[in-house]
Amino acid sequence: MIYSYKAVERIPKLLERGVVYHNEEFQLAALLCACGCGHRVTLLVPDSHQVSSEGEFATIRPSIAVCDAPCKSHYFVTAGRVKWLPAFTQEQASNVMRNQIALHASHDPRPSWKESLWTAVKRAAKLIRFPIRRFRR
């Protein structure tokens, strides 16, 4: 399998095998798994991966770990070429997924207690002003 690089404005719904689609504006990339299973791999750039082109070929760093598919594939893509790494066990895949979720959750902005309280007050005020009424037929 050799991956070509394609800069796009939108990641297509149907991906072509052997193409890394990269949207720089929204910092996303997508490709089909190198093993041929057809699993769609979506990469958050630059949070988790860097995607670049070397001529017409794609390079992705760090390695791609397909933890959410039965194949559990693990590989690098360098200048379009796939270098296979040992597949993950179910336990390793679960750990990677938990770590990724924790990483992204830690980056999500959490509202302060004042913002949460103000949102609750506004929601309550709306309910008082516009009580829910049953519709009559």
Quote the pLDDT of residue 111. Answer: 72
> Do residues 32 and 11 touch, judged by C-beta distance below 8 A?
no
Angle subtended at Cα 59 by Cα 3 and Cα 40, rounded to the nearest 5 degrees = 55
Q: Does 27 have pLDDT greater than 80? A: yes
Query: Which of 21-25, 33-37, 70-74, 118-122 has the least mean pLDDT?
Result: 118-122
Residue 109, burial from CB neighbour count under 10 angstroms (0-12, 13-18, 19+): exposed
Global pTM reads 0.70
List pLDDT tens digits, range 68-86. 888 989 999 999 999 999 9
Residue 19 pairs in a beta bridge with 4
Bridge-based pairing state of the strands 4-7 and 19-23: parallel
Mean pLDDT of all residues belonging to the chain = 85
Considering only residues 51 and 127, tell me which one the structure prediction assigns the higher pLDDT.
Answer: 51
Quote the pLDDT of residue 132. Answer: 56
- The candidate with the shortest Cα–Cα distance to 1, out of 62, 68, 69, 60, is 60
Considering only residues 34 and 137, tell me which one the structure prediction assigns the higher pLDDT.
Answer: 34
CB neighbourhood size of 71 (10 A): 15
